[in-house]
Amino acid sequence: MPTPENISFCAGTLREGQLVAFPTETVYGLGADATQDRAMAAIFEAKGRPSFNPLIVHVPDMESADALVTLDERAMALAEAFWPGPLTLVLPRRSSCSVSLLASAGLDTLAVRIPAHPVARRLLQETGRPIAAPSANRSGAVSPTTPLHVAESLAGRIPYILADGRASMGLESTVLDLSGPSLGLLRPGHILREQLEALIGPVSLPESSDTQAPRAPGQLASHYAPSIPVRLNATSVQAGEALLAFGPGLVPGHPVTHLNLSDQGDLNEAAANLFAMLRALDTPDHTAIAVTPIPDTGLGIAINDRLRRAAAPRS
């Protein structure tokens, strides 16, 4: 756990316009003061991220969110139920919104979330500014769930990592677009579609085809991609492959390396392990990563979403 002094130091660093990677309950974020254009440009630069992909802005409380975006009744109901937590809402920017237009990538909307992680919350409170934070990895790579992953991805590109062990949830937040007439789930996550619909009615699913101008880069076909092929729904292992299994079942074949997302078949455990295990198996010792089927229900929907992108050919 970082000391209060470390957190204050990083808050000062952020206010100066520099980048700080910090822990959230979902994945590590690459933070910068969202009110500074140059700090936003520095995020896109460090990540190698196309600047047409907008960023999530993190705030410590409802007042701070309300200063940036228009919260309608649906947003209020969702915020009440799920904030702080792994839900991002895309909402209309207020004309008085202090956030750099670069964070919105030219859209008239802004993605906002109040994270639950105590270090993130304290950092946000101390910084006193909205903090834009994409996942702290190079664009297109697997999201980081430990400080070591951040260092592997961004060493030499960012001055500080506020380290606090492993991110407990392991998958990025659910992203819901509330800005248009039809509500769209832009990215599945821990907060399930059913949970959203129970409060605000029907929510449409992300489009399966993402060839043109995605609303969210999480929608790009190839995202979260390891450097070796990922083979989904494997029922046996081929020579040279690593096995990423789920649950207690036996898989025929002789994997070079064998990891299990959850021996018990627990989807929460699998979500928390997913990115770290993909990274661990992404080595030249393996020709590919064979992944056994994962139930497409509940949190399995978000896990399968990330796996499909990891398996998609790189464009």
Contacts with ligand TXA, residue ranges (CB under 6 A): 24, 26-27, 29, 53-56, 88, 90, 104, 107, 109-111, 115, 133-135, 172-173, 175, 177, 186-187, 215-218
Q: State the Cα–Cα distance between residues 21 and 35, nearest whole angstrom.
A: 17
Partner in contact with 35, chosen from Mg ion, ligand TXA, none, beta carbon below 5 to 8 Å by kind: none
Partner in contact with 29, chosen from ligand TXA, Mg ion, none, beta carbon below 5 to 8 Å by kind: ligand TXA
- Cβ 315 to ligand TXA shortest distance, Å: 16
First to last CA, the chain: 39
Contacts 24+ apart (CB under 8 A), 220-223: 220/140, 220/309, 220/315, 221/309, 221/312, 221/315, 222/140, 222/309, 222/312, 222/313, 222/314, 222/315, 223/140, 223/309, 223/312
Partner in contact with 147, chosen from Mg ion, ligand TXA, none, beta carbon below 5 to 8 Å by kind: none
Are 33 and 17 in contact by the 8 Å Cβ rule? The answer is yes
- Asked whether position 173 contacts Mg ion by CB under 5 A, the answer is no
Q: Nearer Cβ to ligand TXA, position 112 or 294? A: 112
The SS3 call for residue 246 is coil
- Cβ 93 to ligand TXA shortest distance, Å: 9
54 is written with which tokens?
Answer: 């907008």
Q: Nearer Cβ to ligand TXA, position 216 or 245? A: 216
From 64, 100, 127, 135, residue interacting with Mg ion (rule: CB under 5 A) = 135
Query: Among candidates 113, 141, 107, which has minimal Cα distance to 31?
Result: 113
Q: Nearer Cβ to ligand TXA, position 186 or 301? A: 186
